[in-house]
Structures are given as C-alpha cells and as structure tokens.
A and B are shown apart, each in its own frame.
Chain A
Amino acid sequence: MPARWKQDFPVPSGEDSYVTRREFTKFLGLTSLAFLIGTCAAATRKLAKQFFRRDETSVAVAGIQEIPVGGHKLFRYPTENDPCILLRLAEDKFVAFDQRCTHLSCPVLFDAAKKQLACPCHEGFFSAEDGRPLAGPPKRPLAQLLVTTQNAQVLVSQREVQSA
C-alpha cells in the first residue's frame, strides 16, 4: 500500500522527465552547431599554421662536410620545441624531417643500413627518402622540411606543402 503522503501529494514523475518535441529538435540543432564550430575551429587552425609557416626563413643547421654519407644530425626548427633530424643519404642528397613520430610523437631514429627512420616506442618505420610510413602503427608521413645547400652549408626552411 502506497504511503499516505503519496496519495495526498502525488508526484508526477513521468512529466518530470518528459521531453517536448521542440526541446528534442533544439538538441539536434545544437549538436549540429557544435560540430560546425569544431570543424571551423580546426580548419582555422590549419589555415593559421600554413599562414605563419610562410614567414619562416631558411636557417643553416650544419656544414656539408660535417655529416658523412649515411650520417645524421639532430637540430631544432623552427622553435626550440620542434626536434628535427637531418639525414645525408648520398653525396649530394640531404633530407630533413620532423623527428616526432606521427603516431604518438616519440622521437624517430635513423637506421642508415635500411635507409629507414624507426620509432622505438611502437615499432613504427618510415622511409628515409620521403618520410612515408612503411610499417607499424603510424599512418601519416613524417613532416618534411625543405633542404637546400649553399656556401658549404645545409639550409632548412618551411615544411614542404604537398597535396594530399
């Protein structure tokens, strides 16, 4: 038998959780708006990244004779928080990449014998030629820097922008 107070003061619990059609459609509309804001924010960030990258100038990171063929040098570019790796693959071929693995940002290491960059954390492998992922969890290529040589110096500049 229900308590006496429930009879005297009935609580309309069904109405308490009742959602009107207008409220429901409003929820759907706001969800869509949230997705739109997120997408626009990400697109704006991408745009800002590319815009500011254009201002980055070339910097000398090593002398040509400093790195033997099959050797490498670590440097930081464009800020102290951006570790990069410069590789000498042939007498006249230098390539440079962001050293952070595109999986979970562990530093990649150069394996000259296999001409690969290896991520020791989760065994991800990248081609030393162009940074494309070869094996393991990484799905995206390493960010590549533009490398030029001038006056016996190796210069790096903005990241190469390739079409996806």
Chain B
Amino acid sequence: MNPGMQRRRRMNVVLQMVTTLITAILLGQLWLFTVTLEAMENPAASMSVATAAAICSVVACGSVWVLIRFFLNTEQTETGERS
C-alpha cells in the first residue's frame, strides 16, 4: 500500500471519530432544543432553564465548528490537499 493511500485511510478513521463526537454533540443540542421548547410552553418553568439551554447550545455549536476546523486542518496538513 502506497503512503498516499495509508494517509487517506488514516484520515477516514479520524473523520469517523470526529463524526461520532459531533453526532453526540448534535444529540445533546436536540435535547437542549426540546428542553427550551418545553420551558417556552410551560409558564411555570423558570427562565434560567431556557437561558442555560441556549448558552449550552452556543457552546455545543462552537465545539462542532472547532472540531470541523481541526479535522479539515489536519487533513490538509497530512495529505496536502483540500477534500
């Protein structure tokens, strides 16, 4: 197997790991979204619940974009090409 093919396979493994992590974060964001909707519908729910959920969602979205940038930068460094 030539070195180029090895790098490509290594990047596929990295992509799978990043994708798994991002999927977990997305599921968390989905849960936060449902919590916020519930708080919106329920007048007895505290405002701090919705605020905390929104802040956590901002952090989660930031993490996703950081992970994506990390993956794309690593890929470019390793393979020297943009996929």
Contact = CB atoms under 8 A, between A and B. Distances in A.
Interface of A: 20-22, 24-26, 28-29, 31-33, 35-36, 38-40, 42-43, 45-47, 49-50, 98, 102, 140-141, 143-144, 159-164
Q: Is the interface of A mostly helix, strand, loop or mixed?
A: helix
Contact of A35 (B15, B32, B82, B83): B32
B64 to A, nearest CB: 4
Contacts of A161: 43-44, 46
Contacts, number: 112
Interface in B1-34: 11, 15, 18-19, 22-23, 25-26, 29-30, 32-33
Contact of B54 (A25, A32, A39): A39
A39 B44 contact: no
B58 A36 contact: yes
A43 B71 CA distance: 31
B77 interface: no
Given A20-B83, A22-B82, A29-B68, A43 B36 contact: yes
Contact of A49 (B15, B40, B72, B82): B40
A53 to B, nearest CB: 8
A26 B64 CA distance: 10
A155 to B, nearest CB: 19
B32 A39 contact: yes
